[in-house]
Structure 1
Amino acid sequence: MGRTWRDPALDAAVEAVGEGYLRAGVVLLGETHQDPELRSLRTGALSQAAVGRSGAIAELLDDAGDSADILLWFGNTLINEAWAIRGGSYANAVGSDRFKMFFSTLSNAHEPLLEAARSRPEDPVPWECMIWFALGMQLGRPEQDAIWDELTSRCPTLFAGHWGRLQAVAEKWGGSHEEMFEHARKAVALAPAGNPLTAMLPLAHLEYLLSEEGRLVEQNKMMAYMKFSMTYFSESVIGELKEAERRWTADARPHPRDLDAHHLFGGVFFRETDTHDLAARHLAQVGNRVGEAAPWGYKGDPAEEFAGALRKLKLPIPSGEQVN
């Protein structure tokens, strides 16, 4: 995910880490020990910023007092480096040499993440990271389920953890559409009032739309594609999405993942003309912060797709550089 946060300190640290000043990342992670959501957000952002610098992070361990933060950052940066090597294509489009590099890099993430988990037994974030490790290493469902159990026993509502688990049980990774929607609906039911975790439901719908529309295009069934796209948002689908949205917004409290949730709800409501008012309400709140994944990264450049949606909704395009 891109810079979908309201955290000026994290903005500054991401820039510093990108320029090689890694101590800035260590300081920021040290501030998150009592806040799993903030720790998850900052770990993800700093790891993405540090891609290509995992070796330098490892060197920080030599004089670290409390090494858990560095181990977590190191392990997750290796995961990000591995997925950058693999790319976002389906497996049949990834060459064998690239797969070898992917597995080699990814396998190195396991031990530092386990050590981070041992160092801070209450921390759910190493287990969140291991969802992506397990997915990439093609571990079996029992192993993936065990990781999920470790995470939820520590923080059952961790936003990014639920996002990762939704991907892990989706059809494209060997699960099913049914299991993906079951996970999303359980997340909605689990979410405390005012918590953006209910955004797992629009994420599931966006994943399903991407999968089915892609399948119809691949089969050159354009009439079926048009019918599917035009009739998908039935009264029951819209009603369930609106109820999930209300569970969050009726009593919303500040949360590190607010902007991600606004994008997800805004993106799914944008797909149906009758809910453009709700789409506009959400997308008007995100400024120029655009994530790399759902909903705008599925079909093209995220910033361009987002700007196109704003134009169609007759919303002003934010000034300044689009962040993605």
Structure 2
Amino acid sequence: MGLFSRKRPDQSQQASDASRPTIDKAQRDPAARQLITAMERRDWASARGFLQSVRDPDDHAFYISVCADVDGVQDWIGEWVAAEPQSTLPLLVQGAHGVFWAWEARGSARAEATQREQFDLFFKRLRFAENCLDEVADRDQYDTTARAFLLTSGVGRQVDLEEQQRRFQDVVKRHPTHKWAHGAMQQYLCRKWFGSHEQMFAFARQTSGYAPPGSQLHGGLVEAHIEMWLDLPSGEDVEYMKRPEVGAEIRAAAQRSIWHPSYQPRPGWPKLHNSFAFAFWQCGDMQAAIDQFKLIGYTYITDHPWHYMGGGDPVDYYLNAYGGGR
């Protein structure tokens, strides 16, 4: 197949079942793996002990998202909320999980391919999630995580731009470089949601302009180019990514983030490197792509952005790119 094709890779290029890598929701983060195990066992005491020790706002949002993405949390989280009514933590986990649970009901298809019943359940779960998150924000003036998740739910609730910007400012006035908040705001501004390519790129470039050297926020430029690639018809997408100015901006983003001497991987770092690997590969910048593939290997594969390649398994698409890049 062509290097940039969105078709499913040939079976001959896939790893055997015995050696086949998998996507780890914990992204090979030991603490995240322990959190997932605790949540699966309904051991909220262990989850609480760790989450209360996390001080960095970006790390906190990552670990809350790990808890929120565990299947079945909705079946028992109410017990934790009832057991500790003075604490906002169980309510935060309940609200964040509600956001994930809502998107699970909606599915990943575009609006025109989503059933009315799915939308009804989606909005019902989002309203519940926002009630929880709003209560956390009301009770904890220093909170950033609930406020950041309200940006994600805002996309689903189809709030207007003024409201979404209010939610964004509510986070960044507490933590100016909040990674989750910036990612959610940029998604809102994508053409596939409620913005335009121009708004998306303006936000990504403005963010990169004030983000400090080594910040993951510079990766927003890479995500913007990936979103542009995704929105273009087959053929035009390949031509777009091979434009010299596109590759130059992606390399400049790498210089300011993952290639900068002050860059330090934080919890959840594999997603950023997978995005850079994908973008370099699509641009034909093979040495830069190979460097990222070597770092990711078969261990740190993430669903994003490989799931954008089509309806197949993201691991297959990654392996095809990884094999073609060596």
Aligned to 1:320: none
Report the 3-state secondary structure (helix = DSSP H, G, I; strand = E; otherwise coil) of the residue aligned with 1:154.
coil
- 2:17 equivalent in structure 1: none
- SS of residue paired to 1:188: helix
The range that moved more, 227-236 or 151-160, is 227-236
- 2:118 maps to a residue whose letter is R
Partner of residue 43, structure 1: 64
Q: Following TM superposition, by how much is the alpha carbon of 1:126 offset from its aligned partner in structure 2, in angstroms? A: 0.9
**Aligned positions, number:** 300
Q: 1:42 to 1:202 in 2, by over 3 A?
A: same
Q: RMSD across aligned C-alpha pairs, in angstroms?
A: 1.9
Residue 292 of structure 1 is matched in structure 2 by 303
Structure 2 residue identity aligned to 1:272 = C
Distance 1:173 1:68, change over 3 A: same
By relative contact order (CA 8 Å, sep 6+), the higher-ranking structure is 2
The 3-state SS of whatever aligns with 1:171 is coil
| Identity in percent | 24
- After superposition, the Cα gap between the structure-2 partners of 1:114 and 1:2, relative to the gap in structure 1 and judged at 3 Å, is farther
Residue in 1 aligned with 2:227? Answer: 207
With structure 1 as the length reference, what TM-score do the two structures score? Answer: 0.86
Judge conservation of contact 2:278–2:306 (CA < 8 Å) in 1: yes
Q: Which residue in the other structure is 2:101 paired with? A: 81
C-alpha displacement of 1:227: 5.1
The whole-number CA distance in structure 1 between the counterparts of 2:127 and 2:85 is: 26
Q: Which residue of 2 aligns with 1:112?
A: 132
Post-superposition Cα deviations, 1:247-274, rounded to whole Å, max 9, x if no partner, equal 112221232242221111111001022x
SS in 2 for 1:139: coil
Task: Give structure 1 stretches of 5+ with no counterpart.
Answer: 217-224, 315-324
**After superposition, where does 1:178-189 map in structure 2 within 5 Å?**
178-189=198-209
Judged with a 3 Å threshold, the aligned counterparts in structure 2 of structure 1 residues 298 and 80 are, in CA distance, closer, same or farther, namely: farther
Deviations 1:160-217 (A, max 9, x none): 22111111110011210111111111221122111121111111111110111xxx3x
8 A contact 2:106–2:119 mirrored in 1 = yes
Name the CA distance, whole Å, in 1 between partners of 2:236 and 2:159. Answer: 38
Q: Give the deviation of 1:55 after TM superposition.
A: 4.2
Q: Which residue of 2 aligns with 1:305?
A: 317
Tell me the residue number matched to 2:180.
Answer: 160
Aligned to 1:322: none
**Displacement after TM superposition at 1:277 (Å):** 0.7
Distance verdict in 2 for CA 1:231–1:69, change over 3 Å: closer
What letter matches 2:254 in structure 1?
A: E
1:121-160 equivalences under 5 Å are: 121-160=141-180
* Equivalent residue number for residue 281 of structure 1: 291
Per-residue CA distance 1:54-88 (angstroms, 9 max, x = gap): 24112212222751211111001011111100001
Whether the 8 Å contact between 2:65 and 2:96 is mirrored in structure 1 is yes
Structure 1 residues 241-260: aligned runs within 5 Å: 241-248=250-257, 249-251=259-261, 252-260=263-271
Supply the AA of the counterpart residue of 1:3: K
**CA-CA distance at 1:153 after TM superposition:** 0.9
Match of 1:16 among 38, 49, 66: 38
Q: Tell me whether 1:7 sits opposite 2:16 in the alignment.
A: no
Q: Secondary structure at the match of 2:141?
A: coil
The CA distance in 2 between the partners of 1:307 and 1:12, in whole Å, is: 28
Ranges in structure 2 where 5+ consecutive residues have no aligned partner? 1-22
Q: Distance in 2 between matches of 1:169 and 1:7?
A: 30
Partner of 1:54: 74
Structure 1's 35 and 236: CA in aligned 2 closer, same or farther, altered over 3 A? same
The match for 2:119 is: 99
SS of 1:109's partner is: helix
Higher mean C-alpha deviation, range 231-240 or range 153-162: 231-240
- Write out per-residue CA displacement over residues 228-263 of structure 1, whole angstroms, 9 at most, x where no aligned residue: 513542222221111110111222123224222111
The 8 Å contact of residues 269 and 279 in structure 1, kept in 2 or not, is answered as yes
Query: Which of 217, 226, 229 lines up with 2:235 in the alignment?
Result: 226
Q: Aligned to 2:249, which of 240, 248, 255?
A: 240
Question: 1:280-307: per-residue Cα shift (whole Å, max 9, x none)?
Answer: 1122222422222324444232211111
Q: TM-score scaled to structure 2, two decimals?
A: 0.86
Amino acid at match of 2:314: P
Q: Output the amino acid matched with 2:102.
A: A
8 Å contact from structure 1 (residues 113, 126) kept in 2: yes
Work out whether residues 52 and 81 of structure 1, in 8 Å CA contact, stay in contact via their aligned partners in 2. no
